[in-house]
Structure 1
Amino acid sequence: MFEPFFAVFREAFERGTLIKCTLSRPTGEVTAELKNVYLRPVLLKKGPRIAFTYRFATRDEVKNFTLQEAEAQLRALTGRQFRQVDLFTVEQDYTLSFAKGGKPLWQTKPASHSQPADLSHDRTKKRLLNSSAPWLHALGITNHRGEVLPSAQDKWKQINKYLEIVESLLRTHPLPSDAHIADMGSGKGYLTFALYDFLTHHLGLTPTVTGVEQRKSLADFCQEVARKVGFAGLHFIAQDIADYRPARLDMLIALHACDTATDLALATGIRHHARIILAAPCCHKQVRQDMKAQNELMPLLRYGILEERQAEILTDGIRALLLEANSYKTNVFEFVSTEHTAKNLLITAVATPYTSAKHRVAALRQVEQIKASFGLKEHYLERLLNYSSEGDGS
């Protein structure tokens, strides 16, 4: 390990000259989802710390460390997982890079930053949505001055996290300019309006977005708000998810549709060949009612909370596998942190051009093995997609 680099890192932090540090050029040993790591000094109530931002394909994770902990993390990441580290101080810039053989190359340059780092922990984040948008006031998120209400802070954070995920997906899988999008179980419309606003004002698209909501009062209310704020391509209809039949579907969204309503939405997306599917499942009653563990986990499921969480894992894990069996590349990750809402899981699925029969059969076989281990006769999404219990499509 190249000790002079870590000596400079320690000294810069202790003297208050450290601005930031970035790790890039990941090696084969780093998870494919982790793109780079960004470090900066912060001042917390417990004292000075170094914030590590782990940047994944669809999310960021932030962890705060003491100097000693940070150095240990940095040593573990440098060289082995990332081939380049750039260290910026107010006095000089440093680059430590590694050739494929592991030989380090040390370079110094004149300082590119003259101002000390901003040590505030909660810096103003770049927002993809303007809080002065009229629809936010109409839906009770902001006051008449465009300020987010204290009671709506969690919803505001959820909206912005949602848009960050959408932006990340569309950066690599763009939609056509006239995209047709359905939001199944749109409810009060917060995220439906946010998506339409983002697509039109941030990306410059002219989409048609339809919110499908069973409760007529909510659908009518949201439709009236859309009319008042001039969102001509945003529509809300009062209809059961099971009855919705779009003529065209580029993107399907199902956020917190209860129990099997999520499966109805996923089946619609699959049948209509949606390019992108986003689902944040709600409750998991169907699997939990049928679940009877046939393995060594059985003693653990005597506890209600563990049984509930296992049902969530099974339900959403099988959903992801069934999406993969239908030519989608899937990912499952945290939507928003649990301090904001308990409904914090998101499944993303992006259509791929082709899935081999071997891959499809393997995914369905995995579903059968999982069901056998937990005594499940079927997953509701299987029934909707007309799969037999033999591990292949019927």
Structure 2
Amino acid sequence: MEAIETFLDHLSQALTSQQLSKLTLSKNRSAQSDLKNVYARLVLIKEEPHLSCTLRFATRDETKNFHLTQATAAINKWLTEDFRQAELFTVSEQTSLMISKKGKGLLRSRAIATREPVSLKHNQQKQRPLTERPRPYLTSLGIAGQDGQILQNGRRKFRQINKYIELISHLLREQPLSKGARIVDMGSGKGYLTFGLYDYLVNETQLPIKMTGVELRPDLVKICNTIAEQNKFQGLEFIAGDIHQYQPDGGIDMLIALHACDTATDEAIAKGIRAQAELIIVAPCCHKQVRKAMQPPVTLQPMLQHGILLERQAEMLTDAIRSLLLEANGYKTKVFEFIGTEHTPKNVMITAIKSQPRPEALEEIKDLKSQFGIERHHLEDLLVKMTN
């Protein structure tokens, strides 16, 4: 079809000159198709320009990247098989393609107000809370080399640290910490996230804090304390202890517990509630206690007869009750995916900000427990002990 060929010529020129602002494909030829739209833009991948296409389906999005030598052919295939409308924007022109149900094409172009040239560098780089300048603790942790540059095999961990800090910085905009705030990180492990958060708060935002990492393994505690001393992180210390037994020396303004196993997450939440912490952040790990006690309703038996689905239901139920118990005790909560499953399958995070109690949450917990035949939840037991 001549109109499609002319449109593809416009696209090819825009790609070659790197003047493409955006491209959209719409009006699917088949009403039964699950593919609704395609949105495309220029990006850099390994220093090479590509056309990045987001395929929007009814219930999900997918991204496909095409080298410029393949991009025009991919768009041609979608236009001839899937879509009847396309809009192409360059820095100075808009080109529209309409294809009738009989296959007749109509092409229109018009000049538009000149836009800024497309910056592929902007598409490639993302501003992170921790910039890639020498940070000696990252060298000690094996994330950076002796020259301070992030190692190739440390980039994924460095991205994870920045993602974690971004998440917490958003929470702090809603609930700022005061100077001298006490942060307790229960189950701090090797300290990657603990060091990163301390560095960001003290050195990037100039917020003096007192931070304690609680870790069961004494060898890791010794290593982390040595790194803290070498970096003159005077407000950061690590202590050896178990979450169940740990008693904070003073108050807690922010409590963090990432990947604490099973009821250790409940212990951490309870300590945060008891201390009236302004912020509670947990990423639960195992969910054994509720799963063992679950007696799903008959209507769900066909679905939950499979072990993996039963486990996921137990995880959702456990974390839902945790969230509701926090709300009943005066917190506003969010439950979401922390990091992708390529890092860890245990990727749910619960954040809680001090707010007003929501008493009706207790009735909602009661209904959930009744529906799944659960008599108790460990966090509920801990909170009952607190009031006695």
Give the match for residue 376 of structure 1: 374
Q: 1:289 aligns with which of 288, 292, 307?
A: 292
Give how far 1:385 is off.
0.3
Asked if structure 2 preserves the Cα contact closer than 8 Å seen for 1:20 and 1:117, the reply is: no
Give the match for residue 141 of structure 1: 143
- Distance in 2 (alpha carbons) for counterparts of 1:324 and 1:291: 23
TM-score by length of 2: 0.73
TM-score by length of 1: 0.72
- Distance in 1 (alpha carbons) for counterparts of 2:149 and 2:378: 43
Give the match for residue 128 of structure 1: 129
Asked if structure 2 preserves the Cα contact closer than 8 Å seen for 1:295 and 1:374, the reply is: no
- Distance in 2 (alpha carbons) for counterparts of 1:149 and 1:246: 38
Asked if structure 1 preserves the Cα contact closer than 8 Å seen for 2:141 and 2:192, the reply is: yes
Tell whether 2:114 aligns with 1:116.
Answer: no
Give how far 1:46 is off.
12
Give the match for residue 192 of structure 2: 190
Give how far 1:247 is off.
1.2
- Distance in 1 (alpha carbons) for counterparts of 2:365 and 2:91: 55
Asked if structure 1 preserves the Cα contact closer than 8 Å seen for 2:44 and 2:120, the reply is: no
Give how far 1:257 is off.
0.9
- CA deviation string 1:21-55 (max 9, x = no partner): 9xxxxxxxxxxxxxxxx9854478997334599xx
- CA deviation string 1:178-213 (max 9, x = no partner): 211000111111111111001011111110000111
Q: Percent identity?
A: 45
Give how far 1:142 is off.
1.9
Give how far 1:13 is off.
10
Asked if structure 1 preserves the Cα contact closer than 8 Å seen for 2:183 and 2:209, the reply is: yes
Partner of 1:257, secondary structure, is: coil
- Distance in 2 (alpha carbons) for counterparts of 1:143 and 1:365: 54
- CA deviation string 1:269-308 (max 9, x = no partner): 1111111111111111111111121241123222111111
Give the match for residue 107 of structure 2: none
Question: RMSD of the TM alignment (CA)?
Answer: 3.5
- Distance in 2 (alpha carbons) for counterparts of 1:63 and 1:199: 36
- Distance in 2 (alpha carbons) for counterparts of 1:351 and 1:332: 15
Give how far 1:252 is off.
0.6
- CA deviation string 1:97-148 (max 9, x = no partner): xxxxxxxxxxx984351x2341896x12212114421111111222212333
Give the match for residue 249 of structure 1: 252
Partner of 1:196, secondary structure, is: helix
Give the match for residue 159 of structure 1: 161
Give the match for residue 178 of structure 1: 180
Paired amino acid for 2:369: K
Partner of 1:159, secondary structure, is: helix
- Distance in 1 (alpha carbons) for counterparts of 2:304 and 2:12: 48
Greater radius of gyration (CA): 2
Give how far 1:154 is off.
3.1
Give how far 1:157 is off.
2.4
Give how far 1:166 is off.
0.9
Give the match for residue 105 of structure 2: none
Question: Could you say if the C-alpha distance between residues 39 and 269 of structure 1 is closer, same or farther in structure 2, counting changes exceeding 3 Å?
Answer: farther
Q: How does 1:351-362 map to 2 (within 5 A)?
A: 351-352=354-355, 354-355=356-357, 359-360=358-359, 362=360
Give the match for residue 347 of structure 1: 350
Give the match for residue 207 of structure 2: 205
- Distance in 2 (alpha carbons) for counterparts of 1:208 and 1:12: 56
Give how far 1:62 is off.
8.1
Question: Could you say if the C-alpha distance between residues 363 and 235 of structure 1 is closer, same or farther in structure 2, counting changes exceeding 3 Å?
Answer: same
Give how far 1:88 is off.
8.2
- Distance in 1 (alpha carbons) for counterparts of 2:376 and 2:367: 11
Question: Could you say if the C-alpha distance between residues 295 and 41 of structure 1 is closer, same or farther in structure 2, counting changes exceeding 3 Å?
Answer: farther
Q: Which moved more, 1:237-246 or 1:206-215?
A: 237-246
- Distance in 2 (alpha carbons) for counterparts of 1:46 and 1:143: 30
Q: Which moved more, 1:288-297 or 1:149-158?
A: 149-158
Question: Could you say if the C-alpha distance between residues 109 and 271 of structure 1 is closer, same or farther in structure 2, counting changes exceeding 3 Å?
Answer: farther
Give the match for residue 63 of structure 2: 64
Q: How does 1:218-237 map to 2 (within 5 A)?
A: 218-237=220-239
Paired amino acid for 2:52: R
- Distance in 2 (alpha carbons) for counterparts of 1:174 and 1:52: 39
Give the match for residue 103 of structure 1: none
Question: Could you say if the C-alpha distance between residues 287 and 46 of structure 1 is closer, same or farther in structure 2, counting changes exceeding 3 Å?
Answer: farther
Q: Which moved more, 1:150-159 or 1:167-176?
A: 150-159
Q: How many residues align?
A: 324
